[in-house]
Amino acid sequence: MRKTITIDGQEIPYTEGQTIMDAAISADIYIPHLCHDPDYEPHGSCKLCTVSVNGRNCSACTFPAMEGQEIINHSVDLEQDRKRITQMLFVEGNHFCPSCEKTGNCQLQGIGCYLNMHDNHFPHFFANREMDASHPDILIDQNRCIFCNLYVRASQEKDRKNVFAISGRGINKHLIVNSISGQLKDSDIDIADHAVHICPTGAILIKRTGYQVPIGQRTYDHTKIDAVTLAKENKQHGR
């Protein structure tokens, strides 16, 4: 017997062990997210994927799909919450899109456009964050880190290196490099590592590659993030 859940009135199938996010992606239904990647264990960091499940708010990337679930993905309240979360991510870091090399390829920026976010709403923190340019090939700009934990998981799960960790709480939260000096140059990171290429913003960049793709010809310049994400993540699932 086929098992199904309902998302915004649409009945979709799921298989045992899938999360709501997995089932939604399989059905080409986009649920906004920044910290989720099908290749890694769910983490539930960003909370953008919060949906209403039978009246209860849950993270779609961590909550299992189960028979009888009536899920709301699009509502005025959920869209407002997602917009506020995105605005908070912008003001807690230093995200100045016009001067960022990642503009047009940045998932945070893409989410902001998808949610019709026209301003930051909150006062800007202007956090004083460090940059680590010590490595010959890789640069870390903590101003743009949103603590998605993807680079931590990628380093541990795929690269088997444990290069990164997150320390502190609240405004004092920060990315750390697990090396004796605390600098990237003294870690065993390599330019080919998964952790180097998974950052959804411009926090981790490869040196000497800036603006090779001109602004106006980048990932989200002509295609919205929902279409790009569904195509990418269905490909990762082999569909």
Q: Are residues 223 and 122 in the same domain?
A: yes
Other C-beta atoms lying within 10 Å of the C-beta of residue 237: 12
Which residue segment(s) compose the domain that 150 sits in?
128-208
CA distance 51 to 236: 23
Query: Cα separations (Å) of 53 from 6, 46, 71, 76, 79?
Result: 10, 18, 5, 15, 15
The DSSP secondary-structure symbol of 125 reads: -
Q: Beta 138-141 vs 131-132: how paired, if at all?
A: antiparallel
Q: 67 with 185, same domain?
A: no
- Between CA 69 and CA 21 the distance in angstroms is 13
CATH number of 92's domain? 3.10.20.740
Model pLDDT, residue 1? 61
The pLDDT score that the predictor gives to residue 239 is 65
**What pLDDT is attached to residue 173?**
87
DSSP 17-61: T-BHHHHHHHTT-----SS--TTS-----S-TTEEEETTEEEETT
pLDDT tens digit at each of 239 positions of the chain = 679 999 999 999 999 999 999 999 999 999 999 999 999 989 898 999 999 999 999 999 999 999 999 999 999 999 999 999 999 999 999 999 998 999 999 999 999 999 999 988 999 988 888 899 999 999 999 999 999 999 999 999 999 999 999 999 877 888 999 999 999 999 999 999 999 999 999 999 999 999 999 999 999 999 999 999 999 998 886 66
- How far is residue 116's CA from residue 111's CA, in Å, rounded to a whole number? 9
DSSP H or E stretch at residue 138: strand 138-141
What's the Cα-to-Cα distance from 125 to each of 29, 89, 129, 143, 201, rounded to whole Å? 34, 10, 11, 11, 18
Provide the domain count of the chain. 2
Same domain, 155 and 181: yes
User: pTM of this prediction?
Assistant: 0.94
Instruction: Please give the pLDDT value at position 73.
Output: 98
CATH number of 191's domain: 3.30.70.20
